[in-house]
Structure 1
């Protein structure tokens, strides 16, 4: 199984980073004329380290050579985001310099996994001086991720120490963790150009997931569809690349002018894009200024370089060395993922302020939420693993169920991994699945909705003592939570199963609710039923009944709810026996006749057009009769009834 590791250089300008890469790989990473003329790197350069050991171990080592000049820190940041193993390059004749420390701080903030310190140009100084440089850098690197890094002394011009460095790089890479494949592909573009005969080509480091030749993906934040024509990794065309790979992609569907550095290639409909993010910010200790609410900043993550403003939670000013929670408002929309690392720099003069993790993507409006509550929420997200984070995302979805497409964007997980997490949370009774593979609510919300439903039903029973219950749709419209019809049905099914509610003819009531008729009301009920039974096809109007009896409206609704009376249309009600009697009459009629007219039906039931026509239409709806022009004919359904009789 192939393991992909990205190695990145770091260090002060002119400390020999590019020369070191050439000694390691044989490749010249300075490709621009200006770079060769000035002898410094301006843009990141790319190469790879390969030998018999890497091939036998299925190890793919991509190398990113970053600019060291302070004017090009933004270029260094564009390349540093995907680095797994840092080569911190320090010239033995100069020692630790300002850009060495800034690069080290950036790599620390980005939480690069491993570092190797490379002392270059050792032939220019004696051993005693080099020993002093080592002691100094150990002192200056104390507390950083590189504090215990191995130190290798090399001279790139003569090749001294290069073989030992190669061995150390390979052994270190073999011990490192392989990147996750359970996440969606996240490929930030750091270069875009055209090649004759190929068209548009982009390069970048695949942060997560995998990309296959021939598949259709999306370019964010524009969300334009692209076709992956071909992939190149380490100078070879490949069918698939995995997380941790440096890869060139030949893109179909877009021109070079439509793509910008910092754009993301990923699965369609998989990322949230927004100008607003909430994050933890670690402020560097060596700053000589404080951070204030509304400060303008440069924002860097992956290959994105944009501007924005920073807002502090629960304070107006933050000091060097502090960790704070902030809201970032960017100048343009960005597509990021949960816990993505970022760096911010001072707007002017340019200086690295700090960095951290994106915690809340596209946060909800916070006007009515206390800053203490916001900080607690962000603290929970900071501590959460992916499973805990998915639970939090569902719990924080205000007044509506969390759809799986929303959770996918929040978590940047593949469908399979996300579904596995959701299934586990369901089994642990932390969330409820309302629509299969589509929407979920947190158990806390379930309990709130349950309480809300019981209050509504209880109030309804008190107001309408003779009503069997509340209609589902009316109940759905009254609860203080937005559920669609299917979600509400699932919610009610669970509560019926738990014997909290019961359902009868689409009416919802409390499980223990029963209608009790007094002796007087029972007498009225029987009188009304006799009227309808006596006048089966010429029933009285509802208004007559309601006006004739005290509590007439309540009794009438009771009779309808409990199926003693059936409603034909908005005005007409019949005794429940009307359909069974009609079936007998029609079966007898069609034994001797082929068709039935409205007038014949009217005479057949001894009624008027007012009742006969709605009954005929209802019989058509029930598919007992079918109509051709002005005549009705028996259906197979009616004939089956006839045969069974």
Structure 2
């Protein structure tokens, strides 16, 4: 358990910690000279039959509230110290407000310097403290008069804290590892050491970690947990980690950094959160209000974006978006505190809800419904409520990452709720079984209507179908959903087209006979330079108009593609040429190739090669820059089988589905691992294409 002091300057916090532990936490020369704490101090108290208690002693001066906050975020138990001669003072109130904003629910009040006042004064101070505690989590905290000079009450205070340790339930270690750095220094012969409180999970010697937000990677060479050498450190421990790795120095890691499991490295500078404004704030909080944001050991400038139309009056609670001056490492559910930019007062605080907040459409009813779901603290309840709100799907891998939940726990969560899972290399999209059944019904109904309206077309475009459905999935997730309907034989996929399994476009007997004569002319060794309509008609002695009509019908059936006027290529040949372009691009500088390179590979004339490439340009299979072209890999499957055709889907024992990225439509893409389908502008992949 970590005990943190709180209280006004010169009220005896450091002396009291020394009396309890025998350790003087004022370690700096300036602290010794001035007689006040100006930085965080640390002490430990071993307990027989229980784990060692860690103490964080914080400075009480108003100028060092930011330092106090860096230490207070990791404590489990508050030791509020009030001097009997002074009574409740400004920093007493501010520290108490901070303890309450950080959600610290257990604590004790020590009335220090009790030997300096009479009994009636002591009673008055106790009553004043009790009045200040009303409405806070420490309202019923015990109060003990103490004196570090005479020793009065110190043993009783120690016994109360030890009793609390024995009742204390250690923080869960099932999550992923995070440690908030409050110090970074070098020990000769050891190397770089960082200290902090483990916020979640656990770390072991030889583990690999990442320092966020910088992204530096390191290995843990050794660990001190609760001031003792250890093979691991767990949630709730004060830890010192000896780190080694490229670029790891004491100046490369700072207070405010987060040392964490590498999978958690995803810094953010835009966060949706709850906000409670203290009743002591003199004015309402308006839109774009500047503040200093304190989270864990980090301190960063920020702006408040109101998600409601009205200003926030003192004492009110609301939803806000926090736009930070620089990225920080955080987790959804973390507490934060905001102070004014001049560092003179604490304004309020709250809890982070979504680390991937959208810059646009942040006040829509759909977005507010998502935030209401994300405000639920239990992951099972939160993901269930999230999937019941538009857009009815979420990236569970990002949900787990942003809450520092272990991957196994996220998988168990999906299984328990019987969620349909659509996995890809980068993410795992999930939706409820009810939403999946609704999507399935809509797909089949829309395809049925399309076939009635277009009986002579082989199928409907996959992208057109996706954009016409009420529940609009990201591109690859939608293709995975279609694959789930292919397996039971409900639909058929043919490249970029999809149809109901029972739909057929057929030729008449006469057309079938003529097609069997035409098809060999389009294939074989001359497949890259097939004859045109007039040449086919001449070779077969058939009317040109009849051949043209049949070729157009073949195009609608997906047998051929009209690359240029009256110049048709077999569908398999088109797919083969896409593969050739991919091969050329692999060997070309940056993937860019010339029409001459393509012409030589297909052994064709320059004019026809240009026509073929223009056809691919038109369908965005290739991207053109002057006389150079490059393959658009996001369109590789446009003339062939869907690239995710072999992937399966999961979702409980009977779930049908699989495979996504987190995109939601033309010109829009969700944040990597976010919950809103309109969060960020589209990203460009290595090919330069927008995906």
TM score, norm. by length of structure 2? 0.72
Deviation by residue 1:271-330 (Cα, 9 ceiling, x = unmatched): 431221111111111222322222221110110012122222223522110112111111
| Matching of residues 103-182 of structure 1 within 5 Å | 103-182=95-174
- For residue 256 of structure 1, give the secondary structure of its aligned residue in structure 2: coil
Give the aligned CA root-mean-square deviation in angstroms.
Answer: 3.6
Deviation at 1:28, TM superposition (A): 0.4
Change (3 A) 1:355 1:501: same
- For residue 172 of structure 2, give the secondary structure of its aligned residue in structure 1: coil
What is the rounded CA distance, in whole Å, between the counterparts of 1:323 and 1:494 in structure 2? 45
Is 1:490 aligned to residue 480 of structure 2? yes
- For residue 383 of structure 1, give the secondary structure of its aligned residue in structure 2: coil
What is the rounded CA distance, in whole Å, between the counterparts of 1:105 and 1:410 in structure 2? 27
Structure 2 match to 1:315: 309
Structure 2 match to 1:440: 429
| Matching of residues 93-492 of structure 1 within 5 Å | 93-253=85-245, 254-348=248-342, 350-366=344-360, 368=361, 370-391=363-384, 405-425=397-417, 427=418, 429=419, 431-435=420-424, 438-443=427-432, 446=436, 450=440, 453-454=443-444, 457-458=447-448, 460-462=450-452, 464-470=454-460, 481-484=473-476, 487-488=477-478, 490-492=480-482
2:366–2:389 Cα contact (<8 Å) kept: no
Deviates further, 449-458 or 107-116: 449-458
Structure 2 match to 1:21: 17
Deviates further, 221-230 or 119-128: 119-128
What is the rounded CA distance, in whole Å, between the counterparts of 2:314 and 2:489 in structure 1? 59
Change (3 A) 1:501 1:50: same
Structure 1 match to 2:661: none
Deviation at 1:476, TM superposition (A): 7.1
Change (3 A) 1:66 1:530: closer
Larger radius of gyration: 1
Deviation at 1:222, TM superposition (A): 0.9
Deviation at 1:14, TM superposition (A): 1.2
Is 1:11 aligned to residue 4 of structure 2? no
Tell me which of the two structures has the higher relative contact order, counting C-alpha pairs closer than 8 angstroms and 6 or more residues apart.
2
What is the rounded CA distance, in whole Å, between the counterparts of 2:303 and 2:511 in structure 1? 72
Deviation at 1:529, TM superposition (A): 6.4
Change (3 A) 1:363 1:530: closer
- For residue 257 of structure 1, give the secondary structure of its aligned residue in structure 2: coil
Deviation at 1:158, TM superposition (A): 2.3
| Matching of residues 557-572 of structure 1 within 5 Å | 571=569
Deviation at 1:387, TM superposition (A): 2.3
Change (3 A) 1:288 1:446: same
Is 1:45 aligned to residue 41 of structure 2? yes
Deviates further, 126-135 or 372-381: 372-381
Change (3 A) 1:445 1:561: farther
Deviation at 1:8, TM superposition (A): 0.4
Unmatched runs of 5 consecutive residues or more in structure 1: 563-568, 575-645
Change (3 A) 1:500 1:163: same
What is the rounded CA distance, in whole Å, between the counterparts of 2:303 and 2:557 in structure 1? 66
Is 1:82 aligned to residue 74 of structure 2? yes
What is the rounded CA distance, in whole Å, between the counterparts of 2:71 and 2:467 in structure 1? 53
Deviation by residue 1:355-376 (Cα, 9 ceiling, x = unmatched): 000112131232x454555444
What is the rounded CA distance, in whole Å, between the counterparts of 2:523 and 2:249 in structure 1? 75
TM score, norm. by length of structure 1? 0.76
Change (3 A) 1:107 1:472: same
1:314–1:372 Cα contact (<8 Å) kept: no
Change (3 A) 1:559 1:218: closer
What is the rounded CA distance, in whole Å, between the counterparts of 1:397 and 1:185 in structure 2? 32
- For residue 333 of structure 2, give the secondary structure of its aligned residue in structure 1: coil
Is 1:31 aligned to residue 31 of structure 2? no
Unmatched runs of 5 consecutive residues or more in structure 2: 525-529, 561-566, 573-691
Structure 2 match to 1:61: 53
Tell me how many residue pairs correspond in the alignment.
549
Structure 1 match to 2:510: 524
What is the rounded CA distance, in whole Å, between the counterparts of 1:39 and 1:191 in structure 2? 22
